[in-house]
């Protein structure tokens, strides 16, 4: 729910799902359906007005702003439609930003940032500023930055949305490849049917509700519960841990949980048994 000038706008309702480690999930739906809002909640950029978001078993919705920032820095990568590089920093310096927060030492950070930029094909452009790079190149820097800390989960909001077809395809390829190489859980919003088709699972939002979910591993992934919310209920929704909220029927509408590849235990077990 967004609130401004006393007006309340409920953006998401009855959202409930679990994402398993290593999944590649595409979130699709018309403009204004709440995709960016949902991604921001899952990544801990925003906080739900009601409900919970669990990431790797940790309740993001219960954390303070500072706790969420620290948690994000350690666990989450984010790629934006508009690249969001820091204009006063070179490509190399942009990739160094998240690394420096970790304190592994200057030399190790430099080596890692350079290797990542080489991996995305920009080994010759280390000292270029964003304004000296094309959109496709800027987004490749942003990919290098997003993967710098080996995040457990990478979120991408229309990562190819501002690129022409050719550059968009190149960025999409890189994103999918890097995701596979590093076994990152990948959750991306896209309008590109070709990119969505590469995901193992597609969640469709319309008007702030999940209208379809092709399901997760084993076909027993929790369905989004689509009943009307209790009166007064607003966006977000309660979240159960990955291994409980999965059961159909008694799953609380409005649960969302993301598991990373690093903690397979909880998320991998639960749903199958009871839900079939």
Q: Is 190 in the site for ligand ADP (CB under 6 A)?
A: no
Which of 147, 148, 153 shows the shortest CA–CA distance to 56?
A: 153
Which of residues 130 and 236 has its CB atom nearest to ligand ADP in the complex? Answer: 236
Window contacting ligand ADP (CB under 6 A); options: 3-11, 118-126, 166-174, 243-251: 3-11
Computed on alpha carbons and rounded to an integer, the radius of gyration of the chain in Å comes to 19
Question: What binding mask, one character per residue, do residues 23-62 give for ligand ADP by CB under 6 A, x or -?
Answer: ------x-xxxxxxx-------------------------
Q: How far apart are CA 59 and CA 257, in angstroms?
A: 9
Contacts with Mg ion, residue ranges (CB under 5 A): 35-36
Decide: helix, strand or coil at residue 77. Answer: strand
Which of residues 18 and 36 has its CB atom nearest to Mg ion in the complex? Answer: 36
Q: Is 204 in the site for ligand ADP (CB under 6 A)?
A: no
Which of residues 81 and 149 has its CB atom nearest to Mg ion in the complex? Answer: 81
Give the sign of the dihedral formed by CA 143, CA 149, CA 154, CA 156: negative
Q: Is 193 in the site for ligand ADP (CB under 6 A)?
A: no
Contact (CB, 8 A) for 26 and 196: yes
Start-to-end Cα distance in the chain: 33
**Residue 64's binding partner out of ligand ADP, Mg ion, none, with CB under 5 to 8 Å set by partner kind:** none
Strand order in the sheet with 201-206: 76-79, 153-157, 185-189, 24-28, 201-206, 209-213
Footprint of ligand ADP (CB under 6 A): 2, 4, 9, 11, 29, 31-37
């Amino acid at each position: 729910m967004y609130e401004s000038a006393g007006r309340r706008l409920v953006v998401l309702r009855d959202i409930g799902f679990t994402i398993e480690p290593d999944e590649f999930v595409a979130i699709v739906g018309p403009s204004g359906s709440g995709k960016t809002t949902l991604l921001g909640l899952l990544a801990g950029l925003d906080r739900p007005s009601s409900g919970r978001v669990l990431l790797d078993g940790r309740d993001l919705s219960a954390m303070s702003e500072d706790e969420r920032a620290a948690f994000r820095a350690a666990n989450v990568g984010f790629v934006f439609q508009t690249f969001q590089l820091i204009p006063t920093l070179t490509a190399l310096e942009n990739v160094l930003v998240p690394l420096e927060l970790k304190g592994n030492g200057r030399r190790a950070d430099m080596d890692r940032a350079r290797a990542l930029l080489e991996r995305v094909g920009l080994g010759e452009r280390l000292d270029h500023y964003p304004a000296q790079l094309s959109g496709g190149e800027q987004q490749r820097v942003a990919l290098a930055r997003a993967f710098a800390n080996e995040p457990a989960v990478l979120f991408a909001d229309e990562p190819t949305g501002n690129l022409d077809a050719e550059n968009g395809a190149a960025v999409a390829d890189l994103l999918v490849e890097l995701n596979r190489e590093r076994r990152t859980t990948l959750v991306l919003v896209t309008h590109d049917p070709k990119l969505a088709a590469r995901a193992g699972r597609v969640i469709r939002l319309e008007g702030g509700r999940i209208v379809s979910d092709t399901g997760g591993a084993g076909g027993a992934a929790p369905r989004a519960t689509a009943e009307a919310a209790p009166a007064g209920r607003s966006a977000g929704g309660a979240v159960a841990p990955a291994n409980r909220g999965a059961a159909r029927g008694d799953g609380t509408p409005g649960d969302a949980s993301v598991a990373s590849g690093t903690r397979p235990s909880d998320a991998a077990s639960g749903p199958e048994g009871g839900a079939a």
